[in-house]
Chain A
Amino acid sequence: MTTRVLLLLAALAVAGCAGARVNVTANRARYPLSLSPVVRDASGRPYDARTLLKVGWLDVRKTTPGFVYSALTIPPTRDFSDEINAQIAAAGGEAVVGLTISSAGGCGWLNGFPVLNALPIWPGCVPVRLTGDIVRRRNTFP
């Protein structure tokens, strides 16, 4: 019993946490980015899977480190615009639909590293991934 209590106390003494939080922006994107399957043209007409043609797949990932138990993230904001613009232009697309923003995988081992994550200087991280379908209108396909 005493051994168990001592083990628990020792574990609590080296308990720690790590992680990061980041603001995600696409403020310089040159194309519409929609989380739904729908996007409009300038007249307000909606386009969906029936009137859009998929020409590519968007996949952008960025991992941002954090310190002091996730209180300090460097940089605090990550802009995905340049990568998005490049991938859409390369695919000859006009928009992204079905955009999904996820934050999972890749940082668990770092954020949960035993003992060392009790130190405020131990880095955590947050992985952010944007995926979606690069599309263009069917009636404008060259």
Chain B
Amino acid sequence: MSAAEVRVPVLLGPVPCIGCTADTRTRAALPVTEVAGEARAFGVFLPIGSGLGWGEANDLGISADRLLFWTPCQDDIRLSNLRAHAWQLTVPLFAYFYDVSVKADAATVPVPGAACPTL
């Protein structure tokens, strides 16, 4: 999970800014949305019909870049409830399925006196 395209801070942890102490800014009770980075793959070990086994991961989930891109530039985004999951189901000699994900809750926090980045 990353937010490389977002133009406002997307914060993890209690410190909101350089030179600030933990929780200097109060958190607003704004709507929380879930962001996620996820990969799943399904593979088959043995030939079935004329095919061989395969497996490929695909990026799924609601990326932070897409969901948070239009956040107003005077707000920060705070992440909470960050969790990671890895799991695999295996049917020996036949197939496997794996699911790897990172998810978090995101909330926007207005920053008093905040400036927008210059273009």
Query: Is the pair A7, B93 in contact by a Cβ cutoff of 8 Å?
Result: yes
Interface pair B91/A11, CB less than 8 Å apart: yes
With A15-B89, A103-B85 as given contacts, are A38 and B115 in contact (CB-CB < 8 Å)? no
- Classify the secondary structure of A's interface with B: mixed
The listed residue (A22, A111, A127) touching B88 by CB distance below 8 A is A111
B32 interface contact, C-beta 8 A: no
Option from B84, B88, B92 in Cβ contact (under 8 Å) with A108: B88
Q: Indicate if the CB atoms of A36 and B94 lie closer than 8 Å.
A: no
Contact A70 B2 (CB under 8 A): no
Q: A8-B94, A104-B100 are in contact. Are A29 and B86 (CB under 8 A)?
A: no
C-alpha spacing A17/B88, complex, angstroms: 5
Contact: B1 with A36, CB < 8 Å? no
Indicate if the CB atoms of A104 and B17 lie closer than 8 Å. Answer: no
Residues B17 and A32 in contact, CB atoms below 8 Å apart: yes
Partner of B13, one of A20, A33, A41: A33
Select which of A27, A32, A81 is within 8 A of B20 by beta carbon. A32
Which among B11, B19, B82, B100 is the interface contact of A34 at CB below 8 angstroms? B11
Are A34 and B18 interface neighbours, CB within 8 A? no
A114 interfacial contact with B, CB 8 Å: yes
Decide yes or no: A98 and B88 within 8 Å by CB, A25-B82, A34-B10, A36-B9 being known contacts.
no
